């Protein structure tokens, strides 16, 4: 599908392998469009700063390097649905499972962000996120979505703009965010609903060796853990600072009956592997230092098993997590 509106676009970081396609018709539209591009690497941040400065201060000249696109059938449909002309900028998910549309009015007002699935996995993710918003907005953990509809038989999700910034978050603030996701019930590892769910997925995917590992952990563990709403992809780039409040978003991997500490482990694991390029043993020690809990090794292994099962179901590479488990056996 084509998701463009009738506007001029710049593709970053490259035209052949873009993360975003940003509308740069004028400086006001460009300023809003660049909110879609939030890189963490220094090189990409420099590229963003130079590009955004050019299109916001030297728009007529910079626009000579832009590409003109025609309005798509999907945008025509959205304009009828929302009863106004739209300017669209695009974010292309790394997993190639969805596209995120930033919808602006012609007078450069951001109306919100729309997620549309472009693969079978993306369809599952969007359906899961719709469920997450319905659950979490009912208890006022997050604000409700603006709209959920179907186009060509696929659901899409339209979300309100949260005007804030993305950056790494302090340990204290992470604790405060995750505290809001806690429920009252506690369970031993062996009786915890999340662990039962992970074992079911292992069984379904013929991964008996991991069921055995989970059973060993259940025998060793002596503590009880809270039932939580599990974000599932808790990472710096999925947390927005709005004024003085940190708000998580992107609930595509949401789990209604989740296990305490898995999100916290995920947060530092993502930093260690994706931002700091740590190898297996160094990564283990890095996450252990950040997540200072009694049964860290047991919880970390459960996290890795959970990731291995998920990646197998989504046809992603499992080798790093498998190597992590082998490394832990030597520590």
Q: Which residue has the tokens 């429920």?
A: 183
pTM: 0.90
Q: What is the CATH number of domain 171-330?
A: 3.90.1200
Where in the chain are the domains?
A: 8-159, 171-330
Q: Residues 119-151, buried b or exposed e (16+ Cβ, 10 A)?
A: eebbbbbbbbbbebbeebeeeeebeebeebeee
**Whether residue 269 has pLDDT greater than 90:** yes
3-29 tens-digit pLDDT? 999 999 999 999 999 999 999 999 999
Average pLDDT for residues 107-135, to the nearest whole number? 97
Given pLDDT bands bounded at 50, 70 and 90, which one contains residue 37? very high
Given pLDDT bands bounded at 50, 70 and 90, which one contains residue 153? very high
Given pLDDT bands bounded at 50, 70 and 90, which one contains residue 319? very high
**In terms of C-beta density within 10 A (0-12 exposed, 13-18 middle, 19 or more buried), how is residue 47 classed?**
middle
Contact 118, 109 (CB under 8 A): no
Given pLDDT bands bounded at 50, 70 and 90, which one contains residue 94? confident
Residue 165: DSSP 8-state? B
Contact 221, 285 (CB under 8 A): no
Phi, psi for residue 247 in degrees, rounded to 5: -125, 115
Element counts in the chain: helices (H) and strands (E):
12, 13
Angle between helices 193-204 and 296-313 (to 10 degrees): 40
Q: Which residue has the tokens 């952990």?
A: 217
């Amino acid at each position: 599908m084509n998701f463009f509106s009738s506007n001029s676009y710049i593709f970053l970081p490259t035209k052949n392998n873009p993360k975003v396609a940003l509308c740069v018709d004028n400086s006001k539209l460009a300023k809003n469009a660049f909110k879609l591009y939030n890189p963490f690497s220094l090189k990409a941040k420099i590229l963003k700063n130079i590009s955004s400065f050019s299109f916001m201060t030297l728009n007529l000249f910079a626009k000579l390097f832009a590409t003109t696109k025609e309005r798509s059938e999907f945008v025509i449909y959205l304009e009828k649905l929302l009863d106004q002309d739209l300017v669209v900028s695009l974010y292309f998910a790394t997993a190639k499972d969805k596209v995120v549309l930033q919808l602006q009015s012609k007078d450069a007002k951001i109306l919100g962000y729309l997620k549309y699935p472009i693969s079978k996995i993306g369809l599952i993710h969007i359906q899961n996120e719709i469920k997450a918003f319905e659950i979490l907005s009912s208890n006022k953990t997050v604000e409700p979505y603006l709209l959920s509809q179907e186009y060509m038989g696929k659901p899409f999700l339209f979300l309100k703009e949260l005007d804030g910034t993305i950056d790494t978050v302090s340990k204290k603030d992470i604790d405060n965010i995750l505290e809001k996701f806690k429920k009252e019930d506690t369970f031993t590892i062996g009786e915890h609903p999340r662990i039962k769910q992970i074992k079911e997925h292992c069984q379904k995917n013929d991964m008996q060796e991991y069921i055995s590992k989970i059973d060993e952990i259940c025998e060793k563990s002596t503590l009880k853990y809270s039932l939580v709403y599990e974000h599932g992809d808790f990472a710096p780039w999925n947390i927005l600072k709005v004024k003085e409040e940190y708000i998580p978003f992107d609930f595509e991997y949401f789990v209604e009956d989740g296990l305490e500490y898995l999100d916290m482990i995920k947060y530092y694991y993502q930093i260690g592997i994706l931002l700091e390029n740590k190898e297996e043993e160094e990564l283990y020690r890095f996450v252990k230092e950040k997540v200072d809990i009694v049964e860290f090794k047991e919880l970390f292994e459960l996290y890795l098993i959970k990731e291995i099962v998920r990646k197998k179901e989504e046809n992603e590479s499992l080798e790093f997590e498998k190597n992590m488990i082998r490394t832990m056996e030597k520590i």
